[in-house]
Structure 1
Amino acid sequence: MSEKLLIRRVAVLGAGVMGAQIAAQLVNAGIDTVLFDLPAKEGDKNGIVQKAIANLTKLSPAPLGVKSLAEAIVPANYETDLGLLESCDLVIEAIAERMDWKQDLYKKIAPHVPAHAVLASNTSGLGINKLADVLPEELRYRFCGVHFFNPPRYMYLVELIPTKYTDQTVMDGLESFLTTYVGKGVVIGRDTPNFIGNRIGVFSILATMHHTAQSNLGFDTVDALTGPLLGRPKSATYRTADVVGLDTMGHVIKTMADTLPEDPWHQYFAAPAWLKALVDKGALGQKTGAGIYRKVGKDILVLDVAKQDYVAQGDGAAPEVVEILKEKDPAKKFAALRASEHPQAKFLWAIFRDLFHYAAYHLGDIAETARDVDLAIRWGYGWKLGPFETWQAAGWKQVAEWINEDIAAGKAMSSAPLPAWVLSRDGVYSAEGSYSPTQDKVVARSALPVYQRQRFADPVLGEKPVQGKTVWENEGVRLWADDGDDIAVLSFKTKLHTVNDHVLNGVQEAIRIAEKQFKGMVIWQAAEPFSAGADLAGALGLVKDGKIDQFEAMVANFQKTSQAIKYSLVPVVTAVRGLALGGGCEFQMHSAKTVAHLESYIGLVEAGVGLLPAGGGLKEFAVRASQAAGPNGDVFAELKKGFECAAMAKVSTSALDAKELGLMRPGDRVVMNAFELLEIAKAEALAMAEAGYRPPLPARNIRVAGDVGIATFKMMLVNMLEGRFISEYDYELASRIATVICGGEVDRNSTVDEEWLIRLERKHFVELAQQPKTQARIEHMLKTGKPLRN
């Protein structure tokens, strides 16, 4: 067995945009991190780094899971602090993309990099072997490329690129570390310019730009066509360029032109005249307020190249093309695109044809398998399917014939022939794995032990992971388990995993079965979100039909389900990722333990629809406040955070933030890789069971803040009302939340039991549901997805 790569401390060299945000993601993961940059010319030598660290707390989207983590990053400079490198196990260089600067820095730091440490360059496209040339021989085998995508917290992709010297154990160790501890999806690239993601992704953008001009389409029309309609992000093509920065886009295109002179598509590796003109004018996109798009007042205008001015956006995608794109069968969709005479359809066929052609032609040079290319594009560019998956789904042989016809007819961007392997195969994916042109065979996924932790890895075309054997199911949920497993898994079947009667009854029945047949149970969903909360449409229907008794029974059943989770005889662990709102949040509050992916957005959001939390959320805040205050402490002080959370419908910005807000407990676990969530949740449940798990004793002596607490909260609310920060109805809602969380109109420090608090929650919830303003808020949310402030 190879020696395990132990990483206790990491140094990041370069406190620019990427370096600082890589450091932020490392401290999110609980990794001791030192951030280096040049010494400041005046004042504190670490001034440059300190400024960069302070800036991390201001950026949006936030690089840090919680702002307080900024203090965990150790500032350092190359003049006085190189000695700190001697305590580091991994050094990531992330300075500007200049070969000479990077090599000069390597010469400077090499004497201080310990003999066991790994050195990696976060370059987006420079030659890794060439970078290694200046390193002392003993450091070369511990050097490689590690390319994070921007922004490093949110983009799943990291490309690892070995040099001809890099030791395989270093590669395996780093891949395992980045996957589990930093929470990334690793793809191994070859040492070619721009590696995999940007080589294919930027070519796709260049092909789109070329065909935009050929088809005489507007930038906004192209964005309407190349976003969600193709299973790609809303920012599509040109909006993405604005977000990335048109100067950056120009730089990446120039890199391709300079470093790929032999590429058969080389003539297209040039920034269009309009892009150069915008950069020269300083219109660099989002960061300067104008680029391809420009916001004027409330309107977003788009650049019209012919008029050389910004104009109102056009009609977008043509209805007949939208109809083609809605076709579920990929083979029929591509046949229709190719056959259509509509300019937008011709444009779409052209951008796919040239992307497929380019990706196939270069696959052998840039990656081991088609899977590597598809995952790099999905994880780095946010596409639902990569180019090879799209091609194979559309009918490999037929599409290949069409591409060949277009090459012969001179319609394709390049006359380079399709590789022989393309024409000899039926596709690149089969049950055995993905095709490798270098080995001329199908290759299985990596067998590294780290991937055994991913019971459901991100599947590529043809991979259909089976969710164990069904133990029991109803219309709302499915309880399943793997053969011989002691932990059962419960998954919801509803849209957005909302909670309705079938789910409530299903959770209760699943717990009864788990208590008899298993050692524990995990509530886990195969895809995000964990749960968007209660089924509002169904609940509103009951109230509108005057079926208040049925509505109250549903609320009571919700509370009964939360209590069943809390008092189950076997541990119920919630595995949360994405949204866990309202009832979804309350389920995890009642579980024996929550295991949450860093990107979990948890909150009691009922106030946004004119209600208050009534699945036991306010009751739990009251119980926890009483326990935290102990027999003599100040219960009211402990309640403040919970009250603010519920009254302001706060949603955590991460799982770490959910802990700070008190929505998760100190002992709950935060997981970096979403695909390891189930494995870790099951391990936690089993560990609790093996340690002789018992549910908590019923909370019978809950000390509450009572009437004095309610009055104090109301005083705060009156100030907000008078300052017009809240509406009169917000005041009404928040007053009721205060009443429940403080235990009702009883004397301060009175003791109540859980049943008392549950009844209070239910009473106010049912009364609010009958108010016209609450019903208006619910209807507005159902129609628009946005809260109404009435």
Structure 2
Amino acid sequence: GIEEFIILDLFRNKKPVYKNSEAIIHDIGDGVLNVEFTSKSNAIGEGTGLAMQKAIEIAEEEGWKGVVIGNNAKQFSVGANLMMVAMLAFQKDFKKLNEITNDFQQVNMRLRYSKIPVVVATQGYVFGGGVELSMHADSVMATAESYIGLVEVGVGLLPGGGGTKEFAVRLSESMYPGDVVIPKLIERFKTIATAQVATSADEAFDLKYLDHTRDFRIINTNRAIAEAKKRVLHLSDTYVMPDKKEVKVMGRTGMATLLAAINEFKLGGFITEYESHIAKKIAYVICGGDLTGEHIVSEQYLLDIEREAFLSLLGEQKTMERIQYMLENNKPLRN
């Protein structure tokens, strides 16, 4: 039978399959690889991205069953390495910022479109980029005590690693003939625009960070990686790479609705003037940009407009103030 617990410390004496300054790939037995983040607060940076890419490459080329992304730390991941983003933004190095944002988007797309199953085990804080990567996996084993949220608005940004795109994808997947889409659109939009954090795995299902068709709640945190491994083995028997998705977006029709909602949020004091500016950019991405009415678009099209919006916000003074405040005080500035 499969072991109840997988403690990564027990693999420290073994030669890792791969290692860099931010992550380690372990062989956790039965043909399964595990990517463990080792960066400060398990922040996502170039090294973690490289390791995830490497794990999939090795698994595909050398016939492994699949990949688990998980760690035994208190927090799964606090999200992107904000210090690195801040430094590049202060230097106005938009070429490099575009490169690292695109790299992270493509790593996440690789998690989704690979020849082997990828399962994420989460616990504690799962913020920003940590949510984005888990939303692109085949399955998430989320421990009951997980705090899950796309919190980028707090630092004057929108989710730029595929998270905003993914909300559009999931909205599109939930549509059916005769469906009343507008209430759903507002609901999904509000989750990102007001940086809602689920304080449990159950709430994360309600906020659509987790999906009942593929994700699971794990009661015992210590079993998360073992359960993720079990899931990989279960999926690997009949696994085929998913087809590229066609995404239905609402275009200007959706935008008009969301602009009215943003106005209401602002009048009700839920969001500040600057947050309404960020919210408009989120609305633009979720609705697929400036299109007349409903359209079918590709995920890459959405990633491109998401990245463009993300980079444009990094050029704004108020976003820089928010980032600086967060780095200095570890709490968001509402400017």
* Pairwise CA RMSD: 1.7
Distance in 1 between the 2:334 and 2:251 partners?
Answer: 29
Residue 778 in 1 paired to residue 323 in 2?
yes
Distance in 1 between the 2:187 and 2:229 partners?
Answer: 31
User: Which residue of structure 1 lines up, in the alignment, with residue 229 of structure 2?
Assistant: 682
Q: Deviations over 1:290-336 (max 9, x none)?
A: xxxxxxxxxxxxxxxxxxxxxxxxxxxxxxxxxxxxxxxxxxxxxxx
Does the 8 A contact of 2:70 with 2:225 survive in 1? Answer: yes
Distance in 2 between the 1:669 and 1:554 partners?
Answer: 31
Match of 2:308 among 763, 766, 776: 763
User: Which residue of structure 2 lines up, in the alignment, with residue 670 of structure 1?
Assistant: 217
Distance in 1 between the 2:268 and 2:149 partners?
Answer: 26
Matched residue of 1:555: which SS? helix
Match of 2:256 among 711, 725, 729: 711
What is the identity, as a one-letter code, of the residue corresponding to 2:208? G
Does the 8 A contact of 1:521 with 1:571 survive in 2? Answer: yes
Does the 8 A contact of 1:555 with 1:762 survive in 2? Answer: yes
Bigger relative contact order (CA 8 A; separation at least 6): 2
Q: Deviations over 1:29-73 (max 9, x none)?
A: xxxxxxxxxxxxxxxxxxxxxxxxxxxxxxxxxxxxxxxxxxxxx
Does the 8 A contact of 2:194 with 2:271 survive in 1? Answer: no
- % identity of equivalent residues: 36
User: What's the offset of the Cα at 1:514?
Assistant: 1.6
Does the 8 A contact of 2:22 with 2:48 survive in 1? Answer: yes
User: Which residue of structure 2 lines up, in the alignment, with residue 476 of structure 1?
Assistant: 22
User: What's the offset of the Cα at 1:511?
Assistant: 1.2
Q: Deviations over 1:155-206 (max 9, x none)?
A: xxxxxxxxxxxxxxxxxxxxxxxxxxxxxxxxxxxxxxxxxxxxxxxxxxxx
Distance in 2 between the 1:643 and 1:681 partners?
Answer: 30
Match of 1:568 among 114, 119, 125: 114
Matched residue of 1:731: which SS? helix
Does the 8 A contact of 2:112 with 2:136 survive in 1? Answer: yes
What is the identity, as a one-letter code, of the residue corresponding to 1:688? L
Q: Deviations over 1:260-319 (max 9, x none)?
A: xxxxxxxxxxxxxxxxxxxxxxxxxxxxxxxxxxxxxxxxxxxxxxxxxxxxxxxxxxxx
Does the 8 A contact of 1:629 with 1:638 survive in 2? Answer: no
Does the 8 A contact of 1:628 with 1:638 survive in 2? Answer: no
Residue 499 in 1 paired to residue 44 in 2?
yes
User: What's the offset of the Cα at 1:506?
Assistant: 2.0
User: What pairs up with 1:35-184 in 2 under 5 angstroms?
Assistant: none
> Runs of 5+ in structure 2 lacking a partner?
none
What is the identity, as a one-letter code, of the residue corresponding to 1:534? A
Does the 8 A contact of 1:636 with 1:705 survive in 2? Answer: no
Does the 8 A contact of 2:11 with 2:26 survive in 1? Answer: no
Does the 8 A contact of 1:606 with 1:612 survive in 2? Answer: yes
Residue 485 in 1 paired to residue 30 in 2?
yes
User: What pairs up with 1:605-684 in 2 under 5 angstroms?
Assistant: 605-630=151-176, 633-667=179-213, 668-684=215-231
What is the identity, as a one-letter code, of the residue corresponding to 1:750? H
Distance in 1 between the 2:241 and 2:140 partners?
Answer: 15
Match of 1:578 among 103, 124, 131: 124
Matched residue of 2:17: which SS? strand
User: What's the offset of the Cα at 1:715?
Assistant: 0.6
What is the identity, as a one-letter code, of the residue corresponding to 2:99? A
Distance in 1 between the 2:90 and 2:97 partners?
Answer: 10
Distance in 1 between the 2:11 and 2:23 partners?
Answer: 16
What is the identity, as a one-letter code, of the residue corresponding to 2:165? K
User: Which residue of structure 1 lines up, in the alignment, with residue 72 of structure 2?
Assistant: 526
Does the 8 A contact of 2:186 with 2:261 survive in 1? Answer: no
User: What's the offset of the Cα at 1:714?
Assistant: 1.0
Does the 8 A contact of 1:635 with 1:704 survive in 2? Answer: no
User: Which residue of structure 2 lines up, in the alignment, with residue 453 of structure 1?
Assistant: 4
Does the 8 A contact of 1:469 with 1:481 survive in 2? Answer: no
Distance in 1 between the 2:39 and 2:291 partners?
Answer: 40
User: What's the offset of the Cα at 1:630?
Assistant: 3.2
Distance in 2 between the 1:544 and 1:516 partners?
Answer: 40
Does the 8 A contact of 2:24 with 2:38 survive in 1? Answer: yes
Distance in 2 between the 1:748 and 1:694 partners?
Answer: 34
Larger Rg: 1
User: What pairs up with 1:190-589 in 2 under 5 angstroms?
Assistant: 452-456=3-7, 465-467=10-12, 469-482=15-28, 484-517=29-62, 518-589=64-135
Distance in 2 between the 1:508 and 1:635 partners?
Answer: 36
Q: Deviations over 1:649-670 (max 9, x none)?
A: 0111101110111000103111
Distance in 2 between the 1:618 and 1:634 partners?
Answer: 21
User: Which residue of structure 2 lines up, in the alignment, with residue 787 of structure 1?
Assistant: 332
Does the 8 A contact of 2:105 with 2:161 survive in 1? Answer: yes
User: What's the offset of the Cα at 1:469?
Assistant: 4.3
Distance in 1 between the 2:67 and 2:15 partners?
Answer: 14
Distance in 2 between the 1:658 and 1:737 partners?
Answer: 20
Does the 8 A contact of 1:641 with 1:662 survive in 2? Answer: no
Matched residue of 1:534: which SS? coil
Distance in 1 between the 2:242 and 2:135 partners?
Answer: 13
Matched residue of 2:160: which SS? coil
Does the 8 A contact of 1:520 with 1:689 survive in 2? Answer: yes
Q: Deviations over 1:484-537 (max 9, x none)?
A: 521110001101110111111221122111212311000011212111000011
The TM-score normalised by the length of structure 1 is 0.41
Are residues 578 and 489 of structure 1, via their aligned partners in 2, closer, same or farther at CA, if it must alter by over 3 Å?
A: same
Q: Deviations over 1:392-439 (max 9, x none)?
A: xxxxxxxxxxxxxxxxxxxxxxxxxxxxxxxxxxxxxxxxxxxxxxxx
Does the 8 A contact of 2:18 with 2:51 survive in 1? Answer: no
Matched residue of 1:453: which SS? coil
User: What's the offset of the Cα at 1:540?
Assistant: 1.0
Match of 2:144 among 591, 598, 602: 598
Does the 8 A contact of 1:622 with 1:741 survive in 2? Answer: yes
Distance in 2 between the 1:632 and 1:626 partners?
Answer: 13
